[in-house]
Amino acid sequence: MDALIPPLLNGSAQGALLLLAALGLSLTFGQMGVINMAHGEFLMIGAFTAYLVQQAIGSGDLSIPVALPVAFIVAGLLGLLLEASLIQWMYRRPLDTLLVTVGVSLILRQAALQLFPAQGVPVKTPDWLDGQVNILGYHWPMRQLFTVLLAIACVAALAAWLKYTSFGRRIRATVQNRDLAETAGIPTRTVDRLTFFVGSGLAGVAGVAASLIGGTNSQMGTQYIIPAFLVVVAGGIGQLKGTVIAAWVVGVALSCFAYWTTGSLAQVLAFILVIVFLQLRPQGLFTVRSRSLV
């Protein structure tokens, strides 16, 4: 049990963080076919927002609850700006959105490096998040539990938004058949923008969670973007439940591999795991049945 439960708990938190990072990607990539490589930098912006909020109102109990919506809005607005300035011109060129956003991510990273100290900034954990909870006799840091709960809340909110609101219906309609949706009077441009706003905003929320667990610096985006993409790919494009399961599996696998071997070997093993998995299910965990020629 000693070799199983700690990595399982730790891995669940890691998976939750990955899930938060992947949620926005799953929305923009899955629903819109846009590959946003700057998503990791939006996450970084969320983390820096948490720091700035703490600078403004102090690192009291309220700092994190305030930082979450602020980070959502800041990252979301930046995403909106990115969509309006660059991405809207290239919806039919997915690989090119990937390259353009690589350029954006380089610029954002460099800007962060110049605006903030190179070694990063500390985001202080409020007292109520600093303790530990007892799970089956093992101590689980409160921060990790918080990340898991936050991820669950975000997934629930996103799923409900997509399923029950009229806007969610419009998004799904636009994704399924853009031309038909337009004919039916759905303002697809507005749908695109709002989807991008929410997707990017979720990266900001992920950044706040990441600032509590890892470091907050200009390089943190690169650390999350590749695993998050692997999670989206392994889960199946545009499949929320697939993303959730894949995030948890990859998080636990990374944690277990790191526990049994070393952190860097764990990354290689996780990568091999995803490749092997894609051999078995090239379309990911859950797929939309389609008769289109691949």
Partner 1 sequence: MTKLKPWLSLIGIAVFAVLLLGVAPLVLTDHWLSNLGKYCCWAIVAVGIGLAWGRGGMLVMGQGVFFALGAYSMAMHLTLETAGDGVPGFMVLYDPLAPLPAFWEPFRSAAFTLLAIVVLPVIVAGLLGYALFKRRVKGAYLAILTQALAVALATLISSTIRETGGDTGLSDFKYFFGFVLRDPANRQMVYLIAAALLVVCLLVVWQLYRSRFGELLVATRDAEERVRFLGYDPANIKLVAFVGSALMASIGGAMFVPIVGIITPAEIGAAASILMIAGVAFGGRASLFGPVLGAMAVGWGQSSLGSTWPDGWTYIIGLLFIVVILFLPQGLSSALARLTSAIRSTGERPAAATAAPELEEAKS
Positions in the binding site for partner 1 (CB under 8 A): 29, 33-35, 86, 89-90, 92-96, 98-100, 102-107, 109-110, 113-114, 222, 226, 229-230, 233, 237-238, 262-265, 267-268, 271, 274-275, 278-279, 282, 292-294
Q: Which is nearer to partner 1, 129 or 237 (CB)?
A: 237
Which of residues 248 and 277 has its CB atom nearest to partner 1 in the complex?
Answer: 277
Task: Tell me the closest approach of the beta carbon of residue 92 to partner 1, in angstroms.
Answer: 8
Minimum gap (Å) between residue 272 Cβ and partner 1: 9
| Beta bridge mates, 216 | 121
Nearer Cβ to partner 1 (188/267): 267
The partner residues of 133 in beta bridges, in order of sequence, read: 140
Least gap, CB of 79 to partner 1 (angstroms):
16
**Element counts in the chain: helices (H) and strands (E):** 12, 2
SS3 for 125? coil
What are the backbone dihedrals phi and psi of residue 216, each rounded to the nearest 5 degrees, phi first?
Answer: -115, 100
- Structure tokens given for 177: 């058949």
User: Judged by CB, which is closer to partner 1: 118, or 152?
Assistant: 118
Q: Note whether 46 and 71 are within 8 A (CB).
A: yes
- 165 vs 261, beta carbon nearer partner 1: 261
What is the distance between the alpha carbons of residues 8 and 259, in angstroms, rounded to a whole number? Answer: 10
Min dist CB 194 to partner 1, Å, is 20
Q: Output the smallest distance, CB 120 to partner 1, in A.
A: 18
Single-letter code of the amino acid located at 105: S
Region of 185 (left: φ > 0; alpha: ψ -120 to 50; beta: rest) is left
